[in-house]
Amino acid sequence: MLPGTIAKTVHWAFGQDIAVLPRIFDDGITLAVMERRLDSALTLAVRAQLCHPRGLEWQWRGAPGPAMQEDLARRLPAPEAGEALVEDIGTIAEAMAYLFSTETIGIRLRTLEGAMCPRFHVDNLPVRLVSTYAGPASEWLPEHAVNRDGLGAPHPHKPDIVADPGTIQQLGVGDLALLKGGGWVGNETRGLVHRSPQPAPGERRLLLALDPG
C-alpha cells in the first residue's frame, strides 16, 4: 500500500474479503482488489500446468457453469491435476457474473513467457478482472504518478507516462483485481493505468482475465 501522506488522492480499495470488490462501483475508485493467497491445492494445480511443456491459451465467452468448467478442464495441459484450478476459475466467473448482473462472461487463461502489454496503458473497456496465478503480477500507477499526455502509441515527442518511477505499484500473486477502464461511463479520462511485467528468463506467468457482458 502507499504511504498515508497521499491519502487524499486514493482511488483504490484493497481488502481480504470479497466485499471489497463492489467498491469498483464507487465514483472515485478505479481499482478494487481482493487480496488472497493461493491454498496448497490450488498452488499444486497451477504448478502442474506450468511444468507441462505445452503452453495454455484458453478462451470462453458465455455463461459460467458446468459447460465452461468442462471446456477448461479439457484444454488444460495437465487436466488430471487441474481440478482446483478449474473450480477456482468457476467460482470467480460466477462471482463476476453476479456482481455485474450479466449472464455472459469473457474469460481468458494463458501462460506467458514475456510481457503481454509491457507499456503502461488504459483498457478501452468498462472493467476487467485480472488475477495472476504464477509469475510476476500486474503493475499499476496511482493517478498522481501518471502523465496522461504520454499514453497511447509511442512517439518521440511524447512525455514519459510515469512521472515518478518510485511509485509503481504491483499486485500480489492470487489477488483478484477489478480495473476500471476508459469505457466505464463517467470514467473516460480516468481509466487505471497499468501494464504487464516482464518475467525473468525461463519464468512463466499464468494469467486470468475476465470481462463482464
Residue 102 contacts residue 94 (beta carbons within 8 Å) = no
Cell numbers that stand for 36 in this block: 488472497
Residue located via cell numbers 502507499: 2
Residue located via cell numbers 484458453: 58
Report d(CA 144, CA 54) in Å as an integer.
41
pLDDT the model gives residue 1: 45
pLDDT the model gives residue 31: 98
Q: Is the pLDDT of residue 117 over 70?
A: no
- Model confidence pLDDT, tens digit, residues 34-71: 999 999 999 999 999 999 999 999 999 999 999 999 99
Question: Which CA distances in Å does 60 have to 9, 209, 213?
Answer: 37, 11, 12
DSSP assignment of 52-111, as one string?
A: SSS--EEEEEE--SHHHHHHHHHHSSSGGG-HHHHHHHHHHHHHHHHHTT-S-EEEEEEE
Q: Where are the domains of the chain?
A: 9-212
The pLDDT confidence band at residue 4, using thresholds 50, 70 and 90, is very low
pLDDT the model gives residue 116: 61
Residue with the bigger pLDDT between 150 and 49: it is 49
Report d(CA 211, CA 178) in Å as an integer.
10
Instruction: Kindly state the average pLDDT of the residues 179-205.
Output: 93
Q: Residue 108 forms beta bridges with which residues?
A: 59, 209
Give the CATH number of domain 9-212. Answer: 2.60.120
pLDDT the model gives residue 132: 97
- Model confidence pLDDT, tens digit, residues 161-177: 998 889 999 999 999 99
Q: Which helix (H) or strand (E) holds 131?
A: strand 127-134
